[in-house]
Amino acid sequence: MSTQSAPVTDLRARIVKAAIDAMEASAGQDYTPNGRTTDGFDCSGFVTYVLQQFLSEYRHMDTEHIATSKQFVKVVAYRAGDLIFFPAGKVPYAASHKDLRNYPSHVGIVVDHGHWISSQTSTGAAKVAINNLWWGSRSYYFLSHIKLQ
């Protein structure tokens, strides 16, 4: 049984709907460095675009600032509306194919128990499975905004 109040549950549902709507509205748009609109997003710009619709105090942060912001807490039992955060580093799946680059940190919005949405350099805004071969091989953790607690 959930201990969340109805307003928090509703806020989570609205965040998920806004993430899906933003992904659909930006379909066909390339990943855009520093992008924060449906004309093109980067990952933190996508998060900003969605969260600012519901959290008036939220201001744009790059991925590293999201990871250290007091607006978010790490959670183990993630829920829709939380963020998935990938620290910078090597990607085991890529390394197994002789790609030993260090990749930058990345962030997205969890939309259900197995998927998240963000803007990737390879796809633009897209829904991704948490157990995707490439992304799932990376180190990651979940962050929840303090208003979703």
Query: Crossing angle for the helix pair 43-51 and 6-25, nearest 10 degrees?
Result: 130
102-127 pLDDT per residue, tens: 999 999 999 999 999 999 999 999 99
> Which helix (H) or strand (E) segment is 36 a member of?
strand 36-37
Query: Where in the chain are the domains?
Result: 6-148
21-68 pLDDT per residue, tens: 999 999 999 999 999 999 999 999 999 999 999 999 999 999 999 999
Round the average pLDDT of the chain to a whole number and report it. 95
Question: Hey, what CATH class is 6-148 in?
Answer: alpha beta
Confidence at residue 5, expressed as pLDDT on a 0 to 100 scale: 78
Q: Is the pLDDT of residue 101 over 50?
A: yes
Chain-centroid distance of CA 20 in Å reads 12
Backbone angles phi, psi at 16, to 5 degrees: -60, -45
Q: Which residues contact 21 (CB under 8 A, 6 or more apart)?
A: none
Q: Kindly indicate the confidence band of residue 78, based on its pLDDT and cuts at 50, 70 and 90.
A: very high
Q: Kindly indicate the confidence band of residue 1, based on its pLDDT and cuts at 50, 70 and 90.
A: very low
